[in-house]
């Protein structure tokens, strides 16, 4: 269905404000080149919570058969279809409040470059829901984001993480697996009068990320400042192309330009970090091969430097062409959860992670995704992500940060890496430096 004429510009953070407590409302900024596009998903035709990601993806397949795609302007990554959040855990270990999805036959797309807003509408969309979505463009401006004065602590003594690193190294030495991503959990409260969407606004202003997302579910809000894509599906001349971009290898930013350049150079030259990255690249090649044509999976970019406000990362890119009998949802199912936050071999590493971490991960290391009825898809990895839960008088907050552990890992160095990764979220929750 052809897009309607553009609408007057409205900042998407302002437009979303009335939806901050609306279940199954999602805001996805940062997609596309130079953060040109933002997608706003709300007032779904259908929505529900699920006990596990696999069940959510099964329903998503059925939903996509019920809708005709409406595409945005040229270059826009968003379209009508399915969107939601997949919690890391499944079955009895999971939290059903952290896996939810909806069918969206109406989507607002914000073009920051042209300063226009586009309404995407599939045939049969309800006029009342359409009116409710358009009313967001005329709502009064929201108050300034609360500064934040939250309290966050490590959920266990700092030294405990070093012991977990040693536990992983011992199991690697026994030949159980090659690498496993072990995490530390931080938990606490948002400040009095603070709200998860205020936290999201502070992160968007001070530390924007390529795959940031705000997802409101009943009783909780997911605030993601993720820099990592899990998998993307795009239609090209040669077929539907799948792209995965695993991140593995991290170094802190330097205090001076010279020190910062030295940290980046050391990361690029690090045999340990390159080996970690290559293990996950091999794992992603295997995951993509499940749904891609034989002989099409390749790695066009290895060990690319990605620089964020608080850390440098190594990022690689893996591509393949989907088989005709496989959908984008099939691909996501084959890749979830991401190899970069599990390990290699994946299933054995996941079992060890559960034993060593001692509990479910919830939304952490899951995914926020959208899937168009035209066969396209994009999905993130939920790192640098806070799960906020409504409580009497305020909101709790919790998140995990982790590292890929190999035999060469040093417990203190890995502990420092988790602290560098946690820095921006901690600052945003506590209100310091934002």
Q: What tokens does 124 get?
A: 């049969």
Q: How many residues does the chain have?
A: 434
Provide DSSP, 374-388.
TS-EEEE---SEEEE
Cis ω for the linkage preceding 337 (within 30 of 0): yes
168, two tokens: 């992983």
Host H or E run for residue 282: helix 271-291
DSSP state of 7: B
**Max alpha carbon distance in the chain (Å)?**
62
Q: Report the 10 Å Cβ neighbour count for 335.
A: 24
Cβ-proximal residues to 139 (8 Å cutoff; 6+ apart), any chain: 14, 15, 17, 18
Contact (CB, 8 A) for 405 and 179:
yes
DSSP string over 98-119: G-EEEEESEEEEEETTTTEEEE
What H or E segment, with its residue span, contains residue 411? helix 411-430
Tokens 């259908």, located at residue? 46
* Count of Cβ atoms closer than 10 Å to residue 18 Cβ: 16
- Residue 233 near residue 376 (C-beta atoms within 8 A): yes
Residues pairing with 391 in the sheet: 394
3-state secondary structure of 218: coil
SS3 182: strand
Quick one: angle between helices 328-335 and 53-64, nearest 10? Answer: 170
Phi-psi category of 304—alpha, beta or left, where left has phi over 0 and alpha has psi -120 to 50? beta
Residue closest to 340 by CA, chosen among 186, 173, 180: 180
- Which residues are known catalytic residues? 228, 248
In the three-class reduction of DSSP (H, G, I as helix; E, B as strand; rest coil), residue 126 is classed as coil
Task: Give how far Cα 160 sits from Cα of 156, 166, 227, 314, Å.
Answer: 7, 10, 27, 27
In angstroms, how far is the first alpha carbon of the chain from the final one?
A: 42
């Amino acid at each position: 269905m052809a897009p309607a004429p553009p609408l007057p510009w409205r900042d998407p953070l302002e437009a979303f404000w009335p939806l901050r407590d609306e279940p199954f409302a999602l805001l996805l900024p940062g997609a596309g080149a130079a953060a040109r596009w933002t997608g706003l998903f709300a007032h779904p035709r259908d929505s529900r919570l699920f006990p596990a990601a696999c069940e959510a993806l099964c329903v998503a397949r059925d939903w996509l058969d019920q809708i005709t795609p409406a595409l945005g302007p040229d270059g826009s990554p968003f379209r009508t279809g399915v969107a939601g959040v997949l919690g890391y855990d499944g079955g009895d270990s999971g939290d059903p409040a952290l896996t939810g999805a909806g069918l969206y036959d109406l989507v607002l797309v914000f073009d920051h470059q042209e300063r226009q807003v586009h309404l995407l509408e599939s045939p049969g969309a309800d006029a009342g829901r359409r009116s409710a979505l358009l009313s967001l463009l005329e709502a009064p401006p929201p108050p300034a984001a609360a500064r934040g004065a939250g309290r966050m602590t490590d959920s266990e003594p700092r030294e405990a993480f070093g012991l977990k690193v040693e536990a992983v190294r011992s199991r690697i030495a026994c030949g159980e697996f090659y690498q496993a991503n072990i995490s530390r959990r931080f938990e606490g409260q948002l400040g009095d009068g603070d709200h998860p969407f205020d936290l999201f606004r502070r992160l968007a202003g001070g530390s924007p990320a390529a795959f940031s997302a705000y997802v409101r579910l009943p009783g909780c809000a997911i605030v993601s400042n993720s820099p990592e894509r899990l998998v993307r599906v795009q239609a090209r001349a040669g077929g539907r192309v799948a792209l995965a971009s695993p991140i593995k290898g991290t170094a802190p930013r330097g205090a001076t330009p010279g020190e910062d350049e030295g940290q980046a150079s050391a990361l690029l030259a690090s045999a340990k970090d390159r080996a970690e990255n290559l293990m996950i690249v091999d794992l992603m090649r295997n995951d993509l091969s499940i749904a891609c044509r034989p002989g099409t999976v390749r790695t066009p970019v290895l060990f690319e430097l990605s620089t964020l406000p608080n850390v440098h990362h190594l990022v690689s890119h893996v591509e393949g062409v989907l088989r005709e009998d496989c959908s984008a949802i099939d691909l996501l199912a084959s890749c979830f959860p991401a190899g970069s936050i599990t390990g290699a071999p994946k299933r054995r590493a996941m079992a060890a992670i559960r034993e060593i971490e001692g509990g479910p991960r919830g939304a952490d290391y899951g995914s926020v995704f959208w899937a168009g009825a035209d066969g396209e898809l994009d999905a993130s990895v939920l790192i640098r992500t806070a799960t906020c839960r409504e409580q009497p008088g305020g909101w709790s907050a919790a998140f995990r940060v982790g590292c890929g552990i190999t035999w060469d890992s040093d417990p203190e160095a890995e502990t420092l890496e988790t602290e560098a990764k946690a820095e921006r979220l901690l600052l945003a929750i506590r209100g310091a430096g934002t």
